[in-house]
Structure 1
Amino acid sequence: MNFEQSDDRRMLSETLRRYLADAYGIEHRNAVAYADPFHDPERWAELTDLGLFYALVPEARGGMGGHGFDIVTVFEELGRALCPEPVLGQLLAAALLADTDALMTGTRYALAISETDAPYGIHDITTTAVQDRLTGRKTVVYGAPTADVLLVAARDGDSIGLFQVTASEAEITGYAMIDGGPAGEVFFDETPAQQVMENAEDLLQTALDRGALALCAEALGAMDVVQGMLVDYLKTRKQFGQPLGAFQALQHRAIDLAIEIEQARSIVILAASADGTEAFAKRAAQAKHLVGRIARQVSEEAIQMHGGIGITWEYPLSHYAKRLVMIDHQLGDSDWHLERLMADLAGGA
C-alpha cells in the first residue's frame, strides 16, 4: 500500500495547515468555542471561500474528492488546529444528499440521529414521521445551533427514513460541548419536513462510518500536536538539576505513546483505503475502537507527565485532552464499536 499523499491532497493539507494556524490560535479558538454561537461565522465563510467543502464531495457531484483519504486529509488538519467549526455535519450531509450544491457553497447542515435511549444505533430510533411531519427529540446534535438545515433520521412505518427540516422550524436548545463547539437538543412537534429517502438505514450507516473515519483522523492530528508538546516539555522542564526527558521511565512512557499513535495512524489508513468497498463498515468500526482507546491513553498520559500545568485552562494541552476524550464518544464509543465487531464476527461464524 502506498502511504504517500497525492500531490492534490498534499497541497490541500499544506493550505489548510497554514490557514488554520493563522486563524485559530489557541486563545481565539477558546474564545469562540465556548461562547454563543460556539464557532466563528467569519472563519466559516473563509473556509467556504477556501473551497474546503468541495473536498468532501465526490467529483461526480461537482466536488473535488470525497474519498476516504480526502476525509482524512481535511480532518487531520482540523484536529491539529483544534478547530471548533462544525465541519462534521457537512461531511455527513455530503454522504446523504444527491444535491450538494448548497453544501459546497456554505449552507450549514447537521445530522440529527442520536436519541436519549438510542445514542448511537439507528434501529432503536423513536422519532416518528407522519404525513411529512416529525415528532420526537434528538439529543447532542453536533452543529445544531448553527445549522441552516437539519437532516433527521425518523421512523417511517416499519423503516427508518431520512428527512430534511429547515432548522428554524424546529425547537433547538444550543450549548457548547465540554470541549467547545456547538451541539444542541432538537425537539420536533409535528414539525414540517421533506422526505429525502425511504429505507435509509444502509445509507445512514455508511454516512456514520465515514463520520467515524473523520473523527479518527481528527484525533490523529490532535495526538500529533500533544506528542510534540509532551516531547518539548520533557526537554525543557527540569527536576533535580536535569531535564525530565533524562529520566528513563519517562522516556519509555513517551516512546510507548509514539508507538500507539503510529498504530492509530495505520488503522486509519486501512479504513480510508476501504472506503467504497464492502469492508468499509468493519474497518471504520475497527478504527473507531482502536483510536478511541489510544486517544484517551494519550490524553491521560500526557497530562500525568506534565503534572498540574497540564490541566490548566491557559495551557493548550488541557483543551486537546478534552477533545480527544470527546472524540471517543462521538458517533459511537470504543465499547459500542467493539460490540459491532463482535456481532459481525458472530454473524459470520
Structure 2
Amino acid sequence: MDFTLVEEQQMLADLVGRFVEKEYSFEARRKLSATPRGWSEQHWGTLADMGLLALNVPDAYGGMNASVAETMIVMEALGRALVLEPYLSAAVLGARLISEAGTDAQKDRWLPELAAGRLKTALATLEPGERFDLSNITTTARPSNQGFVVDGRKGVVLHGDRADLLLVSARTSGAQTDTAGVTLFAIDPKTPGVTLRAFPTLDGQRVAEVCFSGVPVGSDAVIGAIGDGYPLLEWTVDHGLFALCAEAVGTMARLAEMTYDYLRTRTQFGRPIGEFQALQHRAADILTAVEQARSVLYFAASRVAGADADERRRAVSAAKNLIGRCGRFVGQQAVQLHGGMGMTDELPIGWYFKRLTCIDMTWGDAEHHLERYGTYV
C-alpha cells in the first residue's frame, strides 16, 4: 500500500495543519479546557465548514465518503495540537457506525446532521469495573409494547456530556460475557430515565458516566440486527482505535519536535545541551520510536478497512500495543530531557504526555492489546 500523499490528501493535511496552527496555541487550549464545555463551538463550526466532519459520511448524505487514509491524516494533525473537540466521537465513530449499519431512515435523519456539525454522537459501551472487555455487558434492554426498556450504567463515555445521541450497547439475551445477544441502540440523552455525570480526564478532555433507569426506546432506535450487534460494535471500536493511534503518532511527533528544539536552545557549560553525545543518543531513540509508531500505523491502515475481521483485529491490536509503548517512552524521555520544567503544567510537554497516557488507556492499554493480538494469531 502506497502511503505517499496524493495532491488532494496533501491539501487536506495542509488545511488541518493551518487550522491547528492558527487556533490551537497551548495557551488557547488551556483556556478552552477550563471552560464548562471544555471545547469550542466556534471551532466545531469551523471543522464543519472545512468539510472535516463529513469525511466519513457517504456522499449520498452530504459527505465525502473518504477512506481510512483521510481519517489518519486528520487525526494525526489534530493530535499535534491536542485538539479538544469531539471529532473522534462524532465524525469517526458515529458517522462510521450509522453509515455501516443504520437503516435508510436513520441515515436520512442523522448523517446529514453529522456532516453539518449539528449532531454530536458518543459511543457508550464500557461499563464500570469491566475493564476493556466489550462483551462484558450488564446493561439490559428488555422488550416492551413500544420497543425496549433499557437499564444499566456506562462509564468513561468520551464527550458523553455534550452528545445529542448516545450509541449504546445493551444485552437483549445471553449471559453477561456472551458475544451473542448484544444489541446497539441510538438513545437521546434527554429521554426520561437517562442521567449523566460529567467529569474531566487527566489530559483535559471530557467524559461522562451515563445511567439508564427504565429508559423507553422504540424499535426504530435499534442499529443493526437485534442480538447480533457485537461484531458491529467491535468493528466500530477498531476504527476508533485506529483513529486514536493516528492521533497518538501526531502527538508523539510534536512532542519530539519540541524536545529537539529545547536541546538546541538550552545551554549548559557554555554550549547547547544537544551537542552532548549522550543526549544525542536519547534524541535518536525518540526519533526511532516515533518512526516505529508511524510504520505500524500505516500497517493498520492497510488492514482496518478490509473484509477479513481477524486481520483487522490483529493489525489494530498490534498498532495499539506498539504505539502505546512508544508513546510512553517518548513521553518519559521528553519530560526527562526538559528537566524539572517537564513536570510542570505551565509547559506543554506534560500535557502531551498526559494525552498519550489517556490514549493508551482508551479501549484497552498496550498489555490488553498484546493479549488480544495473541487470541487471533
- Using the size of structure 1 for normalisation, the TM-score is 0.95
2:127 is equivalent to residue 115 of structure 1? yes
**Aligned residue number for residue 79 of structure 1:** 79
Q: Name the residue aligned to 2:362.
A: 330
Identical counterparts, % of pairs: 38
Mapping 1:93-108, distance limit 5 Å: 93-97=94-98, 98=102, 99=107, 100-106=111-117, 107-108=119-120
Deviation at 1:62? 4.4
Quote how far apart the aligned CAs of 1:51 are.
Answer: 1.2
Within the candidate set 198, 207, 213, 1:183 is matched to 207
Is 1:270 the counterpart of 2:299? The answer is yes
Which residue number corresponds to residue 334 of structure 2? Answer: 302
Pair 105,286 (structure 1): closer, same or farther in 2 beyond 3 Å: same
Q: Which residue number corresponds to residue 149 of structure 1?
A: 165
Q: Is the 8 A contact 1:126 1:154 kept in 2?
A: yes
Could you tell me how far 1:242 is from its partner in structure 2? 1.4
Q: Distance in 2 between matches of 1:20 and 1:296?
A: 24
For the residues of structure 1 that align with 2:53 and 2:120, how far apart are their CA atoms? 11
In the other structure, the counterpart of 2:234 is: 205
Task: Tell me whether 1:195 sits opposite 2:225 in the alignment.
Answer: no
Gaps of 5+ in 1: none
TM-score, structure 2 length as denominator?
Answer: 0.89
Distance 2:59 2:240 in 1: 19
Following TM superposition, by how much is the alpha carbon of 1:118 offset from its aligned partner in structure 2, in angstroms?
2.3
Alignment-mate amino acid for residue 344 of structure 1:
Y
For 2:164, give the aligned amino acid: D
**One-letter code aligned to 2:116:** T
SS at match of 2:37: coil
* Contact 2:313/2:373 (<8 A) preserved: no
The answer to whether the 8 Å contact 2:238/2:304 transfers is no
Distance in 2 of aligned mates of 1:168 and 1:37? 17
The question of whether the paired residues in 2 share the 8 Å contact of 1:146 and 1:182 is answered with no
2:160 matched to 1:163? no
Q: CA deviation at 1:15?
A: 0.6
Calculate the aligned-residue CA RMSD, in Å: 1.3
Alignment match, 1:25: 25
Specify the alignment match of 2:282 in structure 1: 253
The CA distance in 2 between the partners of 1:120 and 1:88, in whole Å, is 18
Deviates more, 1:43-52 or 1:225-234: 43-52
Q: How many residues align?
A: 345
2:318 corresponds to which of 279, 283, 286:
286
Alpha-carbon deviation of 1:168? Answer: 1.9
Q: Is the 8 A contact 2:313 2:376 kept in 1?
A: no
Structure 1 contact 93–110 (Cα < 8 Å) conserved: yes
Partner of 1:128: 140
Q: 2:256 aligns with which of 227, 238, 245?
A: 227
Counterpart code for 2:170: A
Contact 1:313/1:319 (8 A) holds in 2: yes
